[in-house]
Amino acid sequence: MSLSSSLYTGTSGLTNMGNAMQVVGNNISNVNTVGFKKGRSTFADTLSENVATQAGTAQVGRGMSMESVDQAFGTGSFESTGNSTDLSIGGDGFFVLRQSGSENNFYTRAGNFHFDKTGQLINPEGYIVQGWKLDDETGDDTGSIKDIVLDAFTSPPKKSSTMTAITNLDADAESKAVVLSNLWDSSAEDYIGSGNYEYQTVVKVYDSLGSTHDITIHYDKKSGTDWEYTVSCNPDEDKRELVQGTTSEGLLARGTITFSQSSGDILDFTMSKMTGRIGNLDTNGVNTNDATHFTVDNYDAMALDGYNFSFEFNGTTWDWQDINGDAVINGDDLPTNYKNATILYSDSQSIEIALNADDTDADLKISFDQPAVATDSLTFDINNKNDLHVQGVENTTYFGETANDNTSLQINDPSVMTTDAEDIGMVWYPVDKQWRWSNPEAAKDNGTLVSGMSCMNAGAPVLNVDGNADGTWDYTDYTDHSATGGAIDEIIVTDADKMPRYSDIQVQYDTGAWHWDNPVKDADFGATAGTLTSWSAPFDSPSLSSIDNSPAVPITGNAFDAAGDYTLTYTAATTGPVVPSSWALTLPGGGAGVAAGDDSGVSFTLDNGTTAKYSFGSNLGAAQDGGTITFTIDPSAPVEYPDAVIIPDVVNTEDLDIDFNNDSSINLEFDMDGAAAAAGNIFTFTVDPDTPPAEYASATLKGDQESAVIDLDGSGNENDDDDIVFLFDDPLKYGSGAAPYTDRSEISFNIDGSTAWQAVTEDEIKKEGYYSFTADFLGGEKGLTEMDIQFNIGAQYDGANWINDSMSSTQYSRSSSTTFQSANGYSAGDLQGVDVASDGVMTGIYSNGELMPLFRVGLAKFLNNQGLQNSGGNLFRETRDSGEAITNKPGENGLGTIAPNSLEMSNVDISEEFVKMISTQRGFQANSKTITTVDDMMSTVIQMKR
């Protein structure tokens, strides 16, 4: 080893101690640099030199070298700045920046960012922060990582698509409306009077231009746990095409809510949308109902209801559908009240219709979003503009025990009332203890008004009028029918309305004319069923004025087969008890009846086996021998028709004509075609108006003393068999029916029908779980400005059941109130600031009060941070040693979270650096001493030569 080597050994120490001092100096100089990561120098000895020793070969060091300069990536302290775009990372990771004008990415812990004039989020050197753009509705990331650039500093308006109203509805409330939606009147100051509903709440929604509109929900209790509601807006703001000029303007939807009786939670929820002048729309083909649009050019032409407009596309044009299947399009295929409607023009995407014969321009236009294909079809109805939202019972009249406020009306399902119907009748029959329809016109049309006929002669049928030989009477067979035996040729109903009540009627032919042969039920003999015409001598003796001439028992049933005079003859007893007193009964026509009695009274047996008796105040005797009592039987008209009379026919007394209300007009005529009736012949038939109204032919009626229940559509479903219910506070009586108008009760009413309500089915909401109603506040063409708004009451449909949310509408026994209400959507606004969350989500704060998700700041990490290359400006670049950057959301995959409004400062500890500085200085001084010592040694060597 030479002295020069020792000199270089000291020189290596001086050099590397200088480098170490540079690292310390760099750390100290960046003690306040944002995001700076301090350096650390480490040393290593150099390769040793071999030298010979007494013990053998040995190694001598040749100095030292700088082994590495590492950076400590520990997190520095955070300094609060109050600037929302100053960001720091709590944990591992780097912000990702892109150099403007290139694709080079850089990485930094320094989060001192700001927006430039173009909306780019940049660092002080102008590098653009990277992140993901967020969907402004869902807040989800969209696309790949990109520049964070605000496209606009204003927020365009957004129309509402969801509305939430969470309410509690008072379980103790009473119903205030039969059908809540029927009370809507857009022309009134209060669209639904305040006394007609239980509670209302109002939610503000936005249209596509940012204007606000109030949506009002009215609630009213139906019964028990069932409530009904309406959804409405200000009629002046309702621009839907098909409600203009009607009293339905502003009425958007209605429905029902059913709560659990035990928990008060929602069990079921329904909705129907108000469609307006066009109802019952049904499309079959490529265009759905929502893709079919109607434009009315002439509202006056739609003055009447019109049902079943049916069209079919043949591949080129639309034509009327052949409803009757007779391969000919005629009046039977055209809708009611619009038999002159014509198609002016049609193609695959439009139909233009003139509704009246004298219309040359289209009154109604239909357009489709998609071109139709062959066999596509379309049906709909036209609704009269007057109260087209009304589906209810009107003009109700009550008679008998249903009157005097004893009856209340309950309508459980107004949606089945699709057609107007007038004068629907129903009658309570106290003897039969049942309700029957009273619709004689419908019964006549159905061939059931006069039925159950038979003609008896001496107990044997002599008449069989049956048009199809099935043993039953068919009304269609009555006209111009030659019956077996030829007895009845024709039955004519002149005025069916005069025959409104069900009645079994019997008439008998005697003494050249027809007479009633109907029993007077539960009536006193002599007072009603028979009339006392005379007392023959000696019964008229003044000494017998105390004779009681009332029957001992009432006469019931069909007491007499024949009308006429009946005579009771008294024969006094002869001497002693050998021949007692006796009575004889002489029938009309001379026949003998059965009578038995004595001096105190007489009993006689009537045709139906009933025994009647006359008793006397004092016993009869020889003075009354041969005396007679004569009374006349003239059975009255049926109790259901007390004013009915049989009109004699002077030309042909065998014909039978009946005037049911005694107004001198024949209502029912049986033409006997000249066939002679014999004395004692009996003709029975039934007046049977027990037929549903023609407009609701499937309707059923049931009930008892406490209620009458109508299933109007005849569905018979468990939950849909009580569409209309009449309830009686005081139960109706059971009775004999003897006094015609004492016990029988009647109800008549009209139905206001409409097809302007379209039910939203649960199948239609399986995907989203919420019902939607449609509003239009702008009135654009083809429904372009219509808004479908979901109505959330705190329950969502999962495809099978309604699932209550943590906060949902309830029915508790406390005052009705609104728990929560809101709607999405907003008006236009200016960006006032941004807020960044710990997950990197950057939210825009706008002057319209909206908070809109904008971007998510991205972070990156490396497998080897020590492999990063410093690029100045607090930036790093990836290298082969660092590995590729792994980008992800803050807080995921091992990345730290974002701390907004703060900056990460340098992680340099100044006291630590001063210590390092001192130790480095001492090392430098020591190494310099080595050099000076070697220098002295070399000088000594040189001096040795001298």
Residue 547: is its pLDDT beyond 60?
Answer: no
- Selection from 738, 747, 750, 735 nearest residue 406 by Cα: 747
- Give every strand in the sheet of 817-823, ordered side by side: 771-775, 787-792, 162-168, 817-823
Name the more confident of 629 and 449: 449
Output phi, psi for 410, to 5 deg: -130, 125
Span of 111-115, 353-357, 570-574, 660-664 with lowest mean pLDDT? 570-574
Contact 355, 301 (CB under 8 A): yes
What does the pLDDT look like over 15-55, one tens digit per residue?
888 888 888 888 888 888 888 888 888 887 776 777 777 77
| C-alpha separations of 478 from 13, 447, 457 in Å | 135, 9, 22
Rounded-to-integer distance, Cα 867 and Cα 883, Å: 8
Residue 551: is its pLDDT beyond 70?
Answer: no
Question: What's the pTM value of the predicted model, to 2 decimals?
Answer: 0.74
What is the Cβ-side half-sphere exposure of residue 913, based on CA atoms within 13 angstroms? 19
Q: What is the mean pLDDT of residues 567-573?
A: 83
The 8-class DSSP code of residue 826 comes to B
pLDDT at 251: 97
pLDDT at 946: 65
Which of helix, strand or coil describes residue 418? coil
Residue 719: is its pLDDT beyond 70?
Answer: no
Name the more confident of 434 and 9: 434
Contact 572, 565 (CB under 8 A): no
Structure tokens at 836: 């960044």
Pairing of strands 377-382, 278-284: antiparallel
The 8-class DSSP code of residue 939 comes to H
Rounded-to-integer distance, Cα 385 and Cα 276, Å: 8
Contact 501, 427 (CB under 8 A): yes
Name the more confident of 891 and 458: 891
Q: Identify the band that residue 676 occupies on the pLDDT scale cut at 50, 70 and 90.
A: low
> Which residue bears the tokens 């029918």?
481
Task: Name the amino acid, one letter, at 37.
Answer: K
* Burial environment of residue 674 by CB neighbours within 10 A (0 to 12, 13 to 18, 19 or more): exposed
Q: List Cβ neighbours of 336 (8 Å cut-off, separation of 6 or more).
A: 305, 306, 307, 308
* Burial environment of residue 531 by CB neighbours within 10 A (0 to 12, 13 to 18, 19 or more): exposed
- Selection from 224, 229, 226, 214 nearest residue 183 by Cα: 229
Is the peptide bond between 642 and the residue preceding it cis, with omega within 30 degrees of 0?
no
Q: Which of 40-49, 137-146, 550-559, 701-710 reaches the highest mean pLDDT?
A: 701-710
Structure tokens at 311: 């069209």
Q: Above pLDDT 90, what percent of the chain?
A: 46
> Which residue bears the tokens 């039978």?
656
Residue 170: is its pLDDT beyond 80?
Answer: yes
Q: Identify the band that residue 310 occupies on the pLDDT scale cut at 50, 70 and 90.
A: very high
> Which residue bears the tokens 């040189």?
942
What does the pLDDT look like over 114-162, one tens digit per residue?
999 888 999 999 999 999 999 877 888 888 899 999 887 788 899 999 9
What does the pLDDT look like over 52-77, one tens digit per residue?
777 777 777 777 878 778 888 888 88
Rounded-to-integer distance, Cα 616 and Cα 629, Å: 12
CA 466 to chain centre: 50
Determine the length of the chain.
946
Which of helix, strand or coil describes residue 868? coil
- Selection from 866, 625, 673, 760 nearest residue 42 by Cα: 866
Q: Identify the band that residue 239 occupies on the pLDDT scale cut at 50, 70 and 90.
A: very high
- Selection from 283, 353, 347 nearest residue 315 by Cα: 347
Q: What is the mean pLDDT of residues 218-244?
A: 95
Residue 553: is its pLDDT beyond 70?
Answer: no
Residue 380: is its pLDDT beyond 90?
Answer: yes
Strands (E) in 126-194, as ranges, are: 128-134, 141-147, 154-155, 162-168
| C-alpha separations of 743 from 441, 567, 738 in Å | 25, 35, 9
Q: What is the mean pLDDT of residues 548-575?
A: 57
Contact 829, 845 (CB under 8 A): no
Rounded-to-integer distance, Cα 354 and Cα 582, Å: 90
Contact 473, 465 (CB under 8 A): yes
Residue 660: is its pLDDT beyond 50?
Answer: yes
> Which residue bears the tokens 């704060």?
845
For the chain, helix, strand, coil in percent to 5 are 15, 40, 45
Residue 456: is its pLDDT beyond 70?
Answer: no
Helix axes 910-945, 3-29, angle to 10 degrees: 160
Residue 362: is its pLDDT beyond 60?
Answer: yes
Structure tokens at 447: 């061939």
Span of 287-291, 599-603, 755-759, 771-775 with lowest mean pLDDT? 599-603
Q: List Cβ neighbours of 167 (8 Å cut-off, separation of 6 or more).
A: 199, 201, 219, 793, 809, 810, 816, 817, 818, 819
Residue 478: is its pLDDT beyond 60?
Answer: no
Residue 520: is its pLDDT beyond 60?
Answer: no
Which of helix, strand or coil describes residue 674? coil
Residue 641: is its pLDDT beyond 70?
Answer: yes
pLDDT at 133: 93
Structure tokens at 554: 């009432």
Task: Give the end-to-end CA distance of the chain in Å, rounded to a whole number.
Answer: 23
Residue 519: is its pLDDT beyond 60?
Answer: no
DSSP labels, 760-817: EPGGGGTTT-SEEEEE-SS--GGGTT-EEEEEESSEEE-SSSEEEPSS--B--SS--E
Name the more confident of 478 and 105: 105
Structure tokens at 18: 């200088």
- Selection from 845, 806, 851 nearest residue 824 by Cα: 851
Q: Which of 140-149, 363-372, 449-458 reaches the highest mean pLDDT?
A: 363-372
Task: Name the amino acid, one letter, at 50.
Answer: N
pLDDT at 872: 87
DSSP labels, 545-610: TT---SBSS-B-SS--SS-EEEEEEEE---SGGGS--EEEEEPGGG-EEEEEEETTEEEEE-TTS-
| C-alpha separations of 285 from 80, 352, 508 in Å | 64, 19, 65
Q: Which of 67-76, 598-607, 873-882, 931-940 reaches the highest mean pLDDT?
A: 873-882
pLDDT at 646: 87
Q: Identify the band that residue 431 occupies on the pLDDT scale cut at 50, 70 and 90.
A: confident
Q: What is the mean pLDDT of residues 425-448?
A: 90
Residue 565: is its pLDDT beyond 90?
Answer: no
> Which residue bears the tokens 């209790």?
221
pLDDT at 937: 82
pLDDT at 504: 85
9's enclosing H/E stretch is: helix 3-29
Name the more confident of 762 and 533: 762
**Can you give the C-alpha Rg of the chain in angstroms?**
52
Which of helix, strand or coil describes residue 887? strand
Buried b (16+ CB within 10 A) or exposed e, 585-624: bbbbeeeebebebebebbbbebeeebebbbebeeebeeeb
pLDDT at 807: 95
Rounded-to-integer distance, Cα 133 and Cα 857, Å: 9
Q: What is the mean pLDDT of residues 857-883?
A: 91
> Which residue bears the tokens 């016993």?
619
Pairing of strands 271-274, 757-760: antiparallel
Output phi, psi for 867, to 5 deg: -85, -5
Rounded-to-integer distance, Cα 337 and Cα 331, Å: 11
Rounded-to-integer distance, Cα 377 and Cα 384, Å: 24
Q: What mean pLDDT value characterizes the chain?
A: 83
Residue 543: is its pLDDT beyond 60?
Answer: no
689's enclosing H/E stretch is: none
| C-alpha separations of 357 from 340, 342, 353 in Å | 5, 8, 11
Q: Identify the band that residue 873 occupies on the pLDDT scale cut at 50, 70 and 90.
A: confident
Q: Identify the band that residue 546 occupies on the pLDDT scale cut at 50, 70 and 90.
A: very low
Residue 531: is its pLDDT beyond 50?
Answer: no
Q: Beta-carbon neighbour count of residue 215 at 10 Å?
A: 24
Structure tokens at 29: 């100089």
